[in-house]
């Protein structure tokens, strides 16, 4: 049965990919996208999509959110809107508290007010593995790993996760939370590592490498992530948290070496050309050493697992950005 749903942050990286995937899988549904259209959003990503309404607005505007839920009869919300760049959270943390904490609170209050007494309503809160802090050389983040956020960004996301949990247990709101590893793929803002590196390599400009380049991240292709979000929304259990990981642990330096070779191949250059652009810079303040997710719960309970091979996903990402640049 067709429905109308609300996706916050749907003009951003993961949000726009989710809108595209949803339209392809469920074309009868209608999607309302609520997005503040900050620097990281690109409304052109939604051009040409039937059944999608873009509403420029702030998730902190509870009255606006309630009006959208009521006017469209929306019973499911996918909350992806967030300030997400760690570097920006270090230099300007206030925006992260406003959007990630107070914005999530306003959305929860709106949903609670409109959905009271209704069945079949659900709130999906999309979060990050950074709330768990930093891992040593071994071990994996699980859903029961204690929270130890180390940046203003991760602290703001941890606070929003706790708010969602509190609304489930205090008010009975049907909400689920996902914590994902680092996403990569098309439509990501160029401030993030992979698109930044691709654009600089293509232009022959220095590519910054924080510290010794040996920090480890688990990488998840954005289309796999979106498939996981849809599965959790449809079949996850109320109040539960699901970790969505890619099973792709890479040291930053090794990732950049692979990326450099893919860019050189795509541009018909000699391998090694882009590797010479890697430039070590002072480490980020409070830079977590390693993230890695154990995604066994979502696989066992909901049948989801990441399917995209890393080099294939990275190659598709390179092709998209170089095509976008007209290279």
* Catalytic machinery residues: 129-130, 153
Query: Quick one: pLDDT at residue 222?
Result: 98
Q: What is the pLDDT of residues 142-155, one digit of tens each?
A: 999 999 999 999 99
Does residue 325 surpass a pLDDT of 90?
no
With bands split at pLDDT 50, 70 and 90, how would you rate the model's confidence at 267? very high
Query: Quick one: pLDDT at residue 326?
Result: 47
What is 198-242 written as a DSSP string? HHHHHHT--EEEETTS--EEEEEEHHHHHHHHHHHHHHPPTT-EE
* pLDDT, average across residues 73-99: 96
Q: What is the pLDDT of residues 113-172, one digit of tens each?
A: 999 999 999 999 999 999 999 999 899 999 999 999 999 999 999 999 999 999 999 999
Q: How far is CA 157 from CA 68, 128, 130, 150, in A?
A: 24, 7, 8, 11
d(CA 177, CA 174): 11
Q: What is the pLDDT of residues 191-230, one digit of tens each?
A: 999 999 999 999 999 999 999 999 999 999 999 999 999 9
Percent of the chain with pLDDT over 70: 99
Q: What predicted TM-score, i.e. pTM, was given to this entire model?
A: 0.96
| Residue 272 region by backbone torsions, left for phi larger than 0, else alpha for psi between -120 and 50, else beta | left
- In order of their start, the domains of the chain are 4-187+220-247+292-307 (3.40.50.720)
Percent of the chain with pLDDT over 90: 95
With bands split at pLDDT 50, 70 and 90, how would you rate the model's confidence at 286? confident
Give, for 89, the enclosing helix (H) or strand (E).
helix 86-91
């Amino acid at each position: 049965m067709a429905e109308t749903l609300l996706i916050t942050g749907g003009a951003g990286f993961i949000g726009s990919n989710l809108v595209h995937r949803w339209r392809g899988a469920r074309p009868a549904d209608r999607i309302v996208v609520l997005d503040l259209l900050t620097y990281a959003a690109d409304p052109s990503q939604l051009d040409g999509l039937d059944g999608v309404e873009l509403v420029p607005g702030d998730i902190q505007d509870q009255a606006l959110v309630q009006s959208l839920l009521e006017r469209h009869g929306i019973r499911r919300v996918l909350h992806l809107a967030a300030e997400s760049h760690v570097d920006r959270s270090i230099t300007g943390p206030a925006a992260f508290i406003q959007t990630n904490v107070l914005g999530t609170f306003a959305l929860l209050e709106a949903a609670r007010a409109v959905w009271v007494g209704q069945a079949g309503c659900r709130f999906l809160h999309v979060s990050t593995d950074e709330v768990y802090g930093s891992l040593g050389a071994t071990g994996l983040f699980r859903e029961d790993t204690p929270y130890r956020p180390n940046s203003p960004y991760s602290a703001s996301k941890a606070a929003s996760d706790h708010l969602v949990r509190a609304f489930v247990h205090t008010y009975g709101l049907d909400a689920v939370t996902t914590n994902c590893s680092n996403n990569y793929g098309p439509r990501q803002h160029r401030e993030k590592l992979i698109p930044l590196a691709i654009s600089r390599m293509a232009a022959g400009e220095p590519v910054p490498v924080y510290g010794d380049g040996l920090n480890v991240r688990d990488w998840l292709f954005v289309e796999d992530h979106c498939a996981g979000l849809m599965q959790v929304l449809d079949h996850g259990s109320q109040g539960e948290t699901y970790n969505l990981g890619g099973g792709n642990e890479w040291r930053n330096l090794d990732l950049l070496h692979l990326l450099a070779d893919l860019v050189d191949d795509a541009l018909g250059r000699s391998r090694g050309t882009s590797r010479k652009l890697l430039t070590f810079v002072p480490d980020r303040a409070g830079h977590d050493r390693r993230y890695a997710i154990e995604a066994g719960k979502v696989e066992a309970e909901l049948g989801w697992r990441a399917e995209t091979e890393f080099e294939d996903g990275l190659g598709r990402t390179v092709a998209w950005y170089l095509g976008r640049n007209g290279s």
